Amino acid sequence: MLSSFFVLSPRGDTVIQREYRFNSSEEKGGEVVVVKDLKACIEAFHRKVRFWADQDTNLQSLTKNNDDFYQPKQDAPPVFSLHGETYIHIKRGGLIFACSTPYNVSPGSTLELLNKIAKVFKDYCGTLSEEAIRKNFILLYELLDEMLDYGYPQVTSTEGLKMYVHNTPIPTAQVATESVKMGGGKTKSANSVHKPVSVGGQRGKEGNKNEIFVDILERLNVLFSPNGYVLNSSIDGNIQMKSYLAGNPELRLALNEDLVVGGKEEEGYGKVVLDDLNFNECVNLAEFDDSRTLTFYPPDGEFVLLNYRITNDFRVPFKMLPAVTELSSNKLEVLLTLRNEIPQANYGANVQVRVPVPRNTGTVFCEPVGGEGCEQNAEYLANERKVLWTIKKFPGSTEMTIKIKLSLDTACTSQTRKEIGPVSMNFEIPMFNVSNLQVRYLRIAEGGGKAPFRWVRYVTQSSSYVCRM
């Protein structure tokens, strides 16, 4: 039971706001008093989110400290309390979707509700941006009124809302899509389709497309020790879809037949072994245990069909091998070699490597060694105290190296050495997945007319890909 819902632009302007019980005036001792003013509360909320400061008294000395190197750079938690009201918010596409409540609600469900609202907004506008929301505000209020009544969620699914919604979306001019990263950067190809779901009478027109986008996306978390060993590794994977199928047919999707769930590596040598996985509510699992087949009616718009998690060892796509040499008391040399271990046919795209350097760094000289013919660049970002090395396209089964020379303002101590690193790496590998999880087939379950266009893509991304020094 929410008392208000609102959407804020990156600057903090209220773009959408709806009160449910917020401004309820109350009788106290025969006198009617207005308890709160939503506008003022939203402002207070926004200040709090922007300048989050910790209340922990034990850490006060830290904030008093003049040394800004160790200043906590804190993010406001998604759930916090302000003047007796709990505010819960998420950030999507640079916007803040937030709600408030004085009740002891379930934070998990409330966040899922905000996610759902953001998803529905995106499905109906085609994209999630301040411009899209401002242009479509009437439609969004209409949606919101059906989704929330008196602060309680009602109809929240994109397709369920269609019959109640009568405004039509106003498309926004699409700016360079690359800069707009949505859904926490979790999506790729399905995300590049920024068209709104069809509403009401438009259905037939849009239905001609009859296509479905399927992404198998794996995000890697790998932690290397300074000598290149893998200390910790895991894969967070999901299968994401965006359906524009005519007539909403039932679909069958088959995964690797030998998929092992919840097993240890020994049991499934050579097989795909998942620790665990979960499914969208729409999925029927009747055949999953026997044939690893899922059946479902795809909901409209973008959705995650399933999530999986792998912690067993896997072949990491890139190895990082750092070496630090002390040339003199105030000169250090860092040599970092990246070894690309994926097949030659594949490549790493948009590789970015960040090497933090010590506080007392004076000047930095950095230059890639070898790797001619690759579009690459190394630069020192002084205000971040980091060397940024970018490689546009990193071919499979090759090696690249960067040499960084640091001259320090003061002599090198063990503390200085500790401040080098950890090296973090961002990348994307198109048409490749590490776990070998495959979509064997995706078809319309029963007869169902002509086959739709299926766009199946495999993508591997870095999540937290880090090497300690």
Partner 1 sequence: MHSGASGVFKGPTTTSSMPQPSGPVSAPPPTGDSYFTDARRGEVSELRALLKTFPVERSLTRRRDVIKKVIAYMTLGIDVSRLFTEMILAVEDRDLVIKKMVYLYLTTYAQNSPDLAQMCTNTLQKDTSNDDPIIRGLALRSLCSLRVESMVEYVLDPLRRSLGDSNAYVRKTAVMGVLKLHDLNPELVTELTETVRGMVGDVDTMVVVNVIRTLNEIKRKEGGMQVDRKEMLGLLNRIQEFDEFGLSEVLGLLLKYKPQGKEEMFAIMNLLDPVLRTSNSGSVLGTIRCFLKLTSSIPGMGEMVCQRVKPPVLTLVAGGTPELVYVLLTHLKHLAQISPETFSPDYRQLYVRYNEPSHVKYLKVEVLGLLANEENGLDIITELSEYVSDPDGKLGVLAVRAISEVGCSDRCLLSGGQGGIGEVVVEKLVELTGLDVPHVSSAAASCLKDVARKHPDMRGLIAPVLPRCARAITEEKGLASTVWMLGEMGEMITEAPYVLERMVDGDGWEGYGGEVKISLLTAAVKLFFKRPGEMQGILGKCLVKSSADATSQELHDRALLYYRLLAEGGEQAEAVVAGTDQNVDRARKFAEEQDSETFKRLRDEFNTLSIVYSQEEKHWCQEEFRGFGGRTDVSEGEVKVVQDAFGGSVVIEPTSASLPPPQQQQQVGEPAAAAGDTYEDLLGFASDEPASVTVAPPSPPAPSVSLNPNFTLDGGSFQSMWQSLPEACSSLSPSTGSHTPNSVEDALRKLSILTMASGETAGEIKLFLYCQEEGGGGVYLVQVLIDKNCEPRVASVTVKTKGGKEPDTVMGMVHNGMGNVGF
Interface positions, 168-187, toward partner 1 (CB under 8 A): 170, 183-184
Interface positions, 145-164, toward partner 1 (CB under 8 A): 145, 149-150, 152-157, 163-164
Site string for partner 1, 356-395 (x = CB under 8 A): x---------------------------------------
User: Shortest approach of partner 1 to residue 329 CB, angstroms?
Assistant: 16
User: Shortest approach of partner 1 to residue 178 CB, angstroms?
Assistant: 19
- When asked if residue 141 is in the footprint of partner 1 (CB under 8 A), the reply is yes
Query: Is 228 or 356 the residue whose CB approaches partner 1 more closely?
Result: 356
Q: One-letter amino acid identity for 114?
A: L
User: Shortest approach of partner 1 to residue 302 CB, angstroms?
Assistant: 14
Contact status, residue 312 vs residue 264, Cβ threshold 8 Å: yes
Among 43, 44, 94, 111, binds partner 1 (CB under 8 A): 111
DSSP one-letter string for 334-387: EEEEEEE-S-TT-EEEEEEEEEE--TTEEEEEEEEES-TTS-EEEEEEGGGTEE
Of how many residues is the chain composed? 469
Using the contact rule CB under 8 A, the part of the chain among 276-284, 329-337, 370-378, 442-450 near partner 1 is: 276-284
CA distance 439 to 113: 30
- Written as six digits, the tokens of 204 are 């037939």
- When asked if residue 135 is in the footprint of partner 1 (CB under 8 A), the reply is yes
Q: One-letter amino acid identity for 5?
A: F
Interface positions, 332-361, toward partner 1 (CB under 8 A): 356
Interface positions, 252-271, toward partner 1 (CB under 8 A): 262
User: Shortest approach of partner 1 to residue 396 CB, angstroms?
Assistant: 25
Query: Is 79 or 369 the residue whose CB approaches partner 1 more closely?
Result: 79
Query: Is 278 or 344 the residue whose CB approaches partner 1 more closely?
Result: 278
Query: Is 274 or 391 the residue whose CB approaches partner 1 more closely?
Result: 274
Among 12, 43, 159, 167, binds partner 1 (CB under 8 A): 167
Query: Is 41 or 346 the residue whose CB approaches partner 1 more closely?
Result: 41
Contact status, residue 283 vs residue 299, Cβ threshold 8 Å: no
Query: Is 24 or 344 the residue whose CB approaches partner 1 more closely?
Result: 24
Q: Where are the beta strands (DSSP E) in 172-244?
A: 211-224, 230-244
Query: Is 118 or 197 the residue whose CB approaches partner 1 more closely?
Result: 118
Query: Is 309 or 403 the residue whose CB approaches partner 1 more closely?
Result: 309
Q: What is the Cα gyration radius of the chain?
A: 26
Which residues on adjacent β-strands are paired with residue 318? Answer: 340
- Written as six digits, the tokens of 9 are 């632009």
Whole-number Cα distances in Å, 364 to 334, 336, 357, 358, 384: 11, 15, 9, 11, 13
DSSP type of residue 59: G
Query: Is 53 or 345 the residue whose CB approaches partner 1 more closely?
Result: 53
Element of type H or E holding 289 = helix 288-291
Site string for partner 1, 68-97 (x = CB under 8 A): -xxxxxxxxxxx-x--x-x--xxx------
- When asked if residue 297 is in the footprint of partner 1 (CB under 8 A), the reply is no
DSSP one-letter string for 152-188: EE---SHHHHGGG--------PPP-GGG---GGGT--
Interface positions, 6-65, toward partner 1 (CB under 8 A): 14, 16-17, 21, 24, 39, 54, 56, 58-59, 61-62, 65
- When asked if residue 307 is in the footprint of partner 1 (CB under 8 A), the reply is yes
DSSP one-letter string for 417-432: HHTS--EEEEEEEET-
Query: Is 219 or 319 the residue whose CB approaches partner 1 more closely?
Result: 219
Size of the site for partner 1 (CB under 8 A): 101
Whole-number Cα distances in Å, 337 to 150, 301, 388, 441: 59, 42, 14, 39
